[in-house]
Amino acid sequence: MGRFDFTTRPNRLAQHSVKWKSSEQDPDLLQMWVADMDFLPFPEIQEAVTQYATNYIFGYTYASDTLYQSIMDWEKMEHGYEVERDDIVLIDGVVPAISVALQAFTKEGDAVLINTPVYPPFARTVKLNQRQLVAHSLIKKNGRFELDIDQLEKDFIEHQVKLYIFCSPHNPGGRVWTTEELAQIGYLCQKHGVLLISDEIHQDLVLFGHRHTPFHTVDETFKDFSIILSSATKTFNIAGTKNSFALIPNAGLRKQFTKQQLRNNQHEIPALGLLTTEAAFRYGKPWLTELKPVLERNIRFVAEYLSSHTKIEVMKPEGTYLLWLDFSAYALSHEEIQDKLRKEARVVLNDGITFGKEGLYHTRFNAAAPFETVQEACERIAAAFGHKTAK
Ligand SMILES: Cc1ncc(COP(=O)(O)O)c(C=O)c1O
């Protein structure tokens, strides 16, 4: 028995949870979509928030030295990255930081490359900011996503790409990029003058013995043309408290970024985000250590169960708790698949098409819930998509 409870499913129905909203009208639905976790928070985070609620007056708040130090300590301890305090720029979210970076480093009409399928706000942000979207497809190889580096170079040249929004580890599919792959990408960006934004929000959720490499640690020179965006919110399930950080060692880029942040009046962080981040990084390691085998067991189960009971092809992630499911072996349209999941299986997954055109016939399954919930979701899916319904 561990110190933490990963078996109780918190009742989120009365909590305005985005993930569980549709269950408020329809309680039979199982929600396995939005990327937060159905686990209880760990005590030190609850204590920090209670302490704040009891003793503070909820006024404007500045980021303390101890918060900066907690980020630096975490990066060094967990990822071997010795971050300089001045390189850290706090911002309320990684997605808002992507907007700021796009606005700071590119202008309307500039080409911005992403690797599809990918977390939907990447494409949305590029399009809404009137930049030209270059969707470079990942290739499925050996049961995982890989990058076609030659094609990437062709895309850089053909579209005159200015900026590359890279997801590391990758969502969906959970690729934990190797140092060699990151080096190839970095040298290509260097060669073609492409700025890289590395979204590393899933950095701590690497599983099955894989290791995350921060982009800046691959080669010292990569700090010149890239920024890392990350956060404690995904790792420690505190996404609703809103806080993240950008690591920008290049002083020129940092100045452009912070100026744009100020232009948007986006430089203040909610007090709650500041204190949950610090509590998470200071005290969260034992919780994270217990969480990982729970996620690994859930992921193994989903992969094995769905593979043996259905024709769904499961991409087993190397990191993240998000599985990419391929339903193309069924003689069903994309809409019929989504419909069957919701109406027959009564399970809500992310619609794959929102991640890019490669998401046709796909969905994304969030396995960060107590084992029984994950098991029930798989059994429901298998009952609806068992071999009998295959062509
Ligand atoms: C790759 C990626 N980036 C960013 C986010 C969200 O970041 P934030 O809540 O800090 O805006 C998510 C959430 O799932 C994600 O998967």
Are 184 and 267 in the same domain?
A: yes
Single-letter code of the amino acid located at 31: Q
**Ligand 1 center–CA 173 separation, angstroms:** 15
Instruction: Examine the fold and report which residue of 283, 304, 332 is the final residue of a domain before the chain moves on.
Output: 283
Beta bridge partners of 350: 364
CA dist 268 and 335 (Å) reads 42
| pLDDT tens digit sequence for 332-378 | 999 999 999 999 999 999 999 999 999 999 999 999 999 999 999 99
Summarize pLDDT for 218-247 with one digit per residue, the tens: 999 999 999 999 999 999 999 999 999 999
The secondary element (H helix, E strand) that includes residue 120 is none
On whether residue 356 sits in a domain, the answer given is: yes
For the CA of 167, the closest atom of ligand 1 is 1
pLDDT class of 93 with cuts at 50, 70, 90: very high
Banded pLDDT at 391 (limits 50, 70, 90): very low
Q: Is 11 inside any structural domain?
A: no
Number of domains in the chain: 2
Tell me which residue of 131, 97, 95, 100 sits closest to 113, measured CA to CA: 131
Q: What is the reported pLDDT for 2?
A: 87
Full domain range(s) for residue 64: 59-283
User: Looking at the predicted structure, is the pLDDT value of residue 189 above 50?
Assistant: yes
Are residues 27 and 139 part of one domain? no
* Residue 326, in any domain of the structure: yes
Examine the pLDDT at 59 and tell me if it is beyond 50. Answer: yes
CB 291 within 8 A of CB 42: no
Pair (343, 259) in one structural domain: no
Whether 308 and 251 map to the same domain: the answer is: no
For residue 355 and ligand 1, the question of a CB distance below 6 A is answered with no
233 lines ligand 1 (CB under 6 A): yes
At 341, which CATH number?
Answer: 3.90.1150.10
pLDDT recorded at residue 298: 98
To test the pocket of ligand 1, the residue of 171, 236, 244 to mutate (highest count of ligand atoms within 8 Å of its CB) is: 171
pLDDT at 388 over 80: no
Residue 387 or 244, more confident: 244
pLDDT over 70 for what percent of the chain? Answer: 98
Residues 241 and 102 in one domain: yes
Beta-strand pair 144-146/139-141: antiparallel
Pairing of strands 195-199, 226-230: parallel
Cβ atoms within 10 Å, residue 377: 26
Residues 262 and 377 placed together within one structural domain of the fold: no
Q: What is the mean pLDDT of residues 134-142?
A: 97
Whether residue 14 is contained in a domain is answered as: no
Task: Please state, in angstroms and rounded to a whole number, the distance separating the CA atoms of residues 391 and 383.
Answer: 16
Cα 220 to Cα 138: distance, rounded to the nearest angstrom? 27
Distance CA 364, CA 372 (A): 19
Please report whether residue 2 resides in a domain.
Answer: no
Mean pLDDT value across the chain? 97
Q: Is 35 in the pocket of ligand 1 (CB under 6 A)?
A: yes
CA distance 255 to 244: 18
Residue 89 lies in a domain: yes
Residues 130 and 26 in one domain: no
Average pLDDT over residues 301-305: 98
Measured by CA distance, the residue closest to atom 9 of ligand 1 is 93
Average pLDDT over residues 13-34: 95
Q: From the CA of 205, how far away is ligand 1's center (Å)?
A: 13
User: Which of 283, 315, 349 is where one domain is finished?
Assistant: 283
Give the three-class secondary structure for 197. Answer: strand
185 Cβ closer than 6 Å to some ligand 1 atom: no
Distance 320 CA to ligand 1 centre (A): 12
For residue 87, the CA-to-ligand 1 centroid distance in Å is 21
In angstroms, the CA 38 to CA 53 distance is 24
Contact 207/318 with Cβ under 8 angstroms? yes
112-150 burial, b for 16+ CB within 10 Å, e for fewer?
Answer: bbbbbbbbbbbbebbeebebbbbbbbbeeeeebbebeee
Q: Is residue 53 part of a domain?
A: no
Tokens matching residue 18: 């985005």
390 has pLDDT over 60: no
Within this chain, do residues 275 and 305 fall inside the same structural domain, yes or no?
A: no
DSSP class of residue 201?
Answer: T
Percentage of the chain with pLDDT > 90?
98
Q: Which of 260, 283, 306 is the last residue of a domain?
A: 283
AA letter at 235: T
Model pLDDT, residue 237 = 97
Residues 178 and 210 in one domain: yes
Amino acid at 18: V
What pLDDT is attached to residue 279?
A: 98
Q: What digits encode the pLDDT tens for the residues 139-176?
A: 999 999 999 999 999 999 999 999 999 999 999 999 99
Q: Residue 74: what residue type?
A: W
DSSP for residue 310 = B
Per-residue pLDDT, 14: 85
Q: Does residue 235 belong to any structural domain of this protein? A: yes
Residues 77 and 131 in one domain: yes
